[in-house]
């Protein structure tokens, strides 16, 4: 599945499970946000960042991302 399609699927899955309180977005690695971030030198792409911290590198597994979001929301 192309990355753009995977991001769209993840947005849908997250909104369905968590409502509008959790945001999913794609950030280009050349953007000013990425270039000034704590994770600017992390590789390989894609990076999955949750609450400003690298959750995964080099893979984009929507199920694992949703599981982590669920774990964090249950933690309180």
Record the pTM. 0.82
Q: For the chain, what are the domain ranges?
A: 3-66
In this predicted structure, the answer to whether residue 72 has a pLDDT above a threshold of 70 is yes
In this predicted structure, the answer to whether residue 76 has a pLDDT above a threshold of 70 is no
The conformational region for residue 51 under phi > 0 = left, psi -120 to 50 = alpha, else beta, is left
pLDDT digits (tens, 9 = 90+) for 7-51: 899 999 999 999 988 888 889 999 999 999 999 999 999 999 998
Torsion of CA 56, 50, 24, 8, to 10 degrees: 10
């Amino acid at each position: 599945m192309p990355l753009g399609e995977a991001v769209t699927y993840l947005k849908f899955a997250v909104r369905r499970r968590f409502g509008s309180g959790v945001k999913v977005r794609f950030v280009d690695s050349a953007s000013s946000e990425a270039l000034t971030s704590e994770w600017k030198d992390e590789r390989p792409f894609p990076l999955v960042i949750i609450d400003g911290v690298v959750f995964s590198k080099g893979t984009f597994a929507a199920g694992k991302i949703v599981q982590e979001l669920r774990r964090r929301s249950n933690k309180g």
